[in-house]
């Protein structure tokens, strides 16, 4: 597979109280088209990842909104898979091109989360868990992830301070990213002393509630050739699912949707995990960052905390993890995240990331998760020459 | 294009207070697999149309739920385009097969609407209109469609009684459908004297609030051949969008998303409108049935009311419209409707519809709309020999 990424853009992520849901989408779409140097008329179809606009803004039908904003009448669809909605929009865009249905596709991810109270946001986010078996017992995602963190720490002898290093890592990167929600470095002490959310997870183990949108312009390889451009390409794409209920899992510490999607995407791209120079992985909570490092194949089970603490996943190493700052520091407007990860990887492969540039980045990967690993989407990016 | 429909099934539509959201989905999925005579293990991917589970049941991430119910870990995604979500799921399933990503795909549409109060349902349904420009002024879909009905009646000199004939037509068909929500004949008098919802639309001009699910098993033509079955095929598939805001339309009485999607789907299938034996069109309101007849090309602008009143779109004629009873009588569990339309057409082409069988049905069409025509999806079905 070889799908060219002609354009990539995102809004700043953060509490954007002066920017409405449709403004976010409009800004992001227009910026990606400008980056691709094409007009809206060239777009054959639009796929938009969104999770919570129905619950938080009483706005579904965002597909028609997306095409309306560009004065287009093309097919325009929302894809949803909780916090993996953005990654699934990319996969849908690829399918549209590979099926011959479209030559040039606009892919969006968008979410507006800060216009409502935090209890409403919590209600919206937990909609990704089973209503009948999890929500009804009062579960929240911090609580579910806290149980997994406890089990992980107990199983592998990981300390509270080692867990905290994940957030320190991501904030150190995000401090270099002008579009990040939280552009500041933090320390292990900050994490451990932050307000407790769900023991052992403090506020600084959790990604923030953010507004934002991100967009990609994808096209068939032939279209890119005819335009005489040499863009980054998507060379592997796969998604997988796991049981929605955590209670139905054999093993809470391996998220099989990630292992399956990663293996299929790597195989499709013809790469090994060692070939990966840069990854944007789904660190919705500090514990999720650790599971992802293992499930994506970067280390063995139980070794991720030491890998992070070793400092070998930051700039200047063979693998750089979350140069953008990840969900923790860049921010996590849920439906936008999967597309924003791709924007970061595209810019890394172009070499335009300035202070946070990964040197000589040739192969990049995005990893986007919905719920507690019930959906995972992995994309592999590369470029010619 | 030639995508085989190996299996098709739906639950009964209605107020199914003893059947939960996930029960509906489970029943429909299992029935379609049984109809296709394949096991769940044969499924490569799942696409589920759903509009309102987030708002009405606080349940997103229905993709993972759908695969969980079958103990699968395949890619599983929700597609959303308001009341056209089901039709868009079919289109996504086709793209997955045509792209080579999947050989056998399960497509679902599902909605659970009767567990909450009617004001909550109204809030959920209007989420398909613009929050910023339509909802905020107190718009409801009956109100928006009532304005369009008034304009249509004024423009073309159509009477209240002629409009009522649409519901009489659909109920006459639905009375023959054991899975329909409202299995009873009604008269013009019933419609005109029913409680007023939004003048001129009475309760019997509006499709009911229903629960239900429907599923299809789609596969590549080669898979069907290898199984030595001769199923109905999808031979045309297209969707289009229009402005989300009615205020941005030049003409409220032509829904261009329908005209565009229909023309593209007919062209793809290599048919003319005269070739169509049976159509399941989107009669969310009586006025929408009239616009659809015109926009799908069955008559000229302004002539649809007389076409319905002439009685030539019922059984025994060259074209049969909504043999299932349509949204009005079969019921309208919004995310399920587009898939249920396809189930009806598949069964018509198989010749298994009993009392409501369209004689010698060879070419069938489904027409699924989101919002006031802001999304439209058209599929063309045919069969060999």
Which residue among A91, A135, A244 places its CB closest to the CB of B65?
Answer: A244
CB B367 within 8 A of CB B90: no
Whether pLDDT at A173 is above 80: yes
Whether residue B259 lies within 8 A of chain A, CB to CB, comes out as no
Q: Are A200 and A143 in contact (CB under 8 A)?
A: no
At CA A360, angle to CA A381 and CA A317, rounded to 5?
Answer: 100
Give burial (CB, 10 Å; 0-12/13-18/19+) of A71. exposed
Contacts of A81 in chain B (CB under 8 A): 61, 63-64, 76-78
**Token output for A198:** 């769900």
How large is the ipTM?
Answer: 0.98
Asked if A75's CB is within 8 angstroms of B239's CB, the reply is yes
Under DSSP, the state recorded for B31 is H
d(CA A11, CA A33): 13
Residues of B within 8 A of A255 (CB-CB) are none
What is the mean pLDDT of the segment spanning B352-378? 98
Model pLDDT, residue A190:
98
Question: What pLDDT does B303 receive?
Answer: 98
pLDDT at A228: 86
Rounded to whole angstroms, how far apart are CA atoms A12 and A211?
A: 8
Q: Is B267 on the interface with A (CB under 8 A)?
A: no
Q: What are the strands, taking DSSP E only, across chain A? A: 3-10, 45-49, 76-80, 104-111, 196-198, 201-202, 212-220, 233-241, 278-280, 320-321, 364-370, 375-382
CB neighbour list of residue A121: distance below 8 Å, 6 or more residues apart: A56, A113, A209
pTM of the predicted model as reported, rounded to 2 decimal places: 0.98
* CB-based contact, B127 to chain A, within 8 Å: yes
What confidence tens digit (pLDDT) does each residue in A282-317 have?
Answer: 999 999 999 999 999 999 999 999 999 999 999 999
d(CA A132, CA B330): 28
Q: Do A77 and B95 touch (CB under 8 A)?
A: no
Residue B385 has pLDDT above 80, yes or no: no
Contact A197, A142 (CB under 8 A): yes
Average pLDDT value over all residues in chain B? 97
Per-residue pLDDT, averaged over A375-382, amounts to 98
Rounded Cα distance, A226 and A15, in Å: 41
What would the two tokens of residue B214 be? 């429907």
Inform me whether the pLDDT recorded for A216 exceeds 70: yes
CB atoms within 10 A of CB B58: 17
Yes or no: say if B370 and A61 are a contact pair by the CB < 8 Å rule: yes
What's the pLDDT band for B173 if we cut at 50, 70, 90? very high
pLDDT of residue A33: 98
Catalytic, A332? Answer yes
| Closest to B109 in 3D by CA, of B45, B69, B66 | B66
Exposure of B113 in the CB half-sphere (CA atoms within 13 A): 31
Q: Secondary structure of chain B: what % helix, strand, coil (to 5)? A: 45, 20, 35
Q: Find the mean pLDDT for residues A123-133.
A: 96
- Can you tell me the mean pLDDT for B246-264? 97
Q: A360 and A354 in contact (C-beta within 8 Å)?
A: no
Q: B205-242: per-residue pLDDT in tens?
A: 999 999 999 999 999 999 999 998 889 999 999 999 99
User: B324 phi and psi, to 5 degrees?
Assistant: -75, -15
pLDDT at residue B9, as a whole number: 98
Answer yes or no: do A73 and B242 touch at CB < 8 A.
yes
B240 and A75 within 8 Å at the Cβ level: the answer is yes
B221 touches chain A (CB under 8 A): no
Cα-atom radius of gyration of chain A, to the nearest Å? 19
Q: Which residue from B21, B74, B244 is facing A64, i.e. has the nearest CB?
A: B244
Is B18 an 8 Å CB contact of chain A?
no
Q: Does B254 touch chain A (CB under 8 A)?
A: no
Per-residue CA distances from A318 to A325, A360, B15 (Å): 18, 10, 59
Chains A–B, number of C-beta pairs less than 8 Å apart: 208
CB of A332 closer than 8 Å to CB of A52: no
Record: contact B240-A374, CB cut-off 8 A:
no
Q: Where are the alpha helices (DSSP H) in A320-378?
A: 326-330, 334-350
Contact B60 A75 (CB under 8 A): no
Helices B286-295 and B256-269 cross at an angle (nearest 10°) of 50
- pLDDT (mean) for A218-242: 95
What the block records as the tokens of A36 is 């691709």
Q: How confident is residue A384, by pLDDT bands cut at 50, 70 and 90?
A: confident
From B83, B206, B353, B372, the catalytic residue: B83
Give the pLDDT confidence of B307-350 residue by residue, as tens digits: 999 999 999 999 999 999 999 999 999 999 999 999 999 999 99
Given an 8 Å threshold on Cβ–Cβ distance, is A131 in contact with B21? yes
Is residue B173 annotated as part of the catalytic site, yes or no? Answer: no
3-state secondary structure at position A70: coil
Q: Which residues of B touch A72 (CB under 8 A)?
A: 241
The span from the first CA to the last CA of chain A, in angstroms, equals 17
Instruction: Give the sign of the dihedral formed by CA A182, CA A187, CA A192, CA A193.
Output: negative
A335 touches chain B (CB under 8 A): no
Contact B61 A81 (CB under 8 A): yes
Q: Per residue in A356-374, pLDDT tens?
A: 999 999 999 999 999 999 9
Residues in chain A within 8 Å Cβ distance of B371: 61, 64
Is A74 touching B (CB cutoff 8 A)?
yes
Q: Cis (ω within 30 of 0) for the bond into A200?
A: yes
Evaluated on CA atoms B188, B192, B197, B199, the torsion sign reads positive
């Amino acid at each position: 597979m070889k799908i060219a990424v002609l354009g990539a853009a995102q809004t700043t992520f953060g509490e954007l109280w002066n920017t409405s849901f449709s403004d976010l989408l409009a800004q992001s779409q227009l910026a990606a088209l400008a980056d691709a140097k094409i007009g809206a008329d060239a777009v054959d179809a639009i796929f938009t990842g969104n999770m919570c606009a129905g619950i938080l803004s009483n706005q579904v039908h965002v597909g028609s909104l997306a095409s309306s904003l560009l004065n287009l009448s093309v097919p325009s669809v929302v894809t949803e898979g909780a916090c993996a909605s953005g990654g699934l929009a990319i996969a849908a865009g690829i399918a549209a091109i590979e099926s011959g249905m479209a030559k040039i596709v606009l892919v969006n991810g968008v979410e507006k989360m800060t216009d409502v109270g935090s209890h409403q946001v919590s209600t919206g986010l937990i909609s990704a868990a089973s209503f009948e078996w999890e929500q009804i017992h009062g579960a929240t995602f911090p609580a579910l992830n806290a149980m997994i963190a406890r089990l992980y720490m107990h199983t592998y002898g990981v300390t509270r301070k080692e867990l905290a290093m994940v957030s320190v890592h991501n904030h150190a990167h995000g401090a270099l990213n002008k579009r990040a929600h939280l552009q500041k470095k933090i320390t292990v002490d900050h994490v451990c002393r932050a307000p407790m959310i769900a023991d052992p997870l403090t506020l600084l183990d959790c990604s923030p509630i953010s507004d934002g949108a991100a967009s990609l312009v994808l096209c068939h390889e032939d279209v890119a050739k005819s335009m005489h451009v040499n863009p980054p390409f998507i060379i592997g794409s796969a998604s997988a699912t796991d049981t929605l209920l955590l209670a139905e899992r054999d093993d809470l510490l391996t998220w099989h949707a990630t292992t399956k999607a990663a293996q299929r995407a790597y195989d499709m791209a013809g790469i090994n995990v060692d070939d990966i120079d840069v990854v944007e992985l789904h660190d919705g909570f500090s514990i999720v960052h650790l599971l992802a490092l293992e499930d994506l194949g970067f280390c063995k089970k139980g070794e991720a905390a030491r890998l992070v603490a070793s400092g070998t996943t930051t700039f200047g190493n063979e693998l750089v993890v979350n140069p953008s700052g990840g969900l923790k520091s860049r921010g996590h407007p849920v439906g936008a995240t999967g597309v924003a990860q791709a924007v970061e990887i595209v810019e890394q492969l172009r070499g335009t990331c300035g202070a946070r540039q990964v040197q000589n980045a040739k192969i990049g990967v995005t990893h986007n998760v919905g719920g507690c690993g019930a959906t995972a989407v992995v994309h592999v990016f590369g470029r010619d020459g």
